[in-house]
Amino acid sequence: MSLASRIGALAGRIGREVKVGADHPGLARAWVCFGYVGNQVVVRAAHNVASVTRLAAGRYRVHFASPLPDANYAWVGVARSNTNTGTQRLLIVRATADEKTPTHVDVGCATTAASFADSPEIDLVVYR
């Protein structure tokens, strides 16, 4: 038996013992890398995300391809500055009007001065 075959067999046994499946809470239920470039939302890569809609400058709605079981999920995200001058961008939820449902989540991209601003790259991960 070759080394590659032995490693493959070991990995299979570990997977069966640990029982990490698609429903494990430590795995992301959805993620997306997108940005606002050339006056349009550009989705570069995604998992379980059907689309991203720009609601206003710096405000986005991420639509899930398959709904989550409920709205009791956690999300984390980061945003890249749109300039090279060190202007920071934060991914936030600012108001109770921002929605968090099983089918979508609203996120806002803001400057450190708390004004909404677009970003060429926003990365969002959803856990449940």
The residue extents of the domains of the chain are 22-127
pLDDT in tens, 77-119: 999 876 666 677 887 776 777 899 999 999 999 888 878 889 9
Average pLDDT over residues 16-44: 87
pLDDT at 121 over 90: yes
Residue 84: predicted pLDDT: 67
CA distances from 33 to 2, 10, 43, 48, 83 (A): 39, 33, 6, 12, 18
pLDDT at 1 over 90: no
Higher pLDDT, 127 or 21: 127
pLDDT in tens, 36-67: 999 999 999 999 999 999 999 999 999 999 99
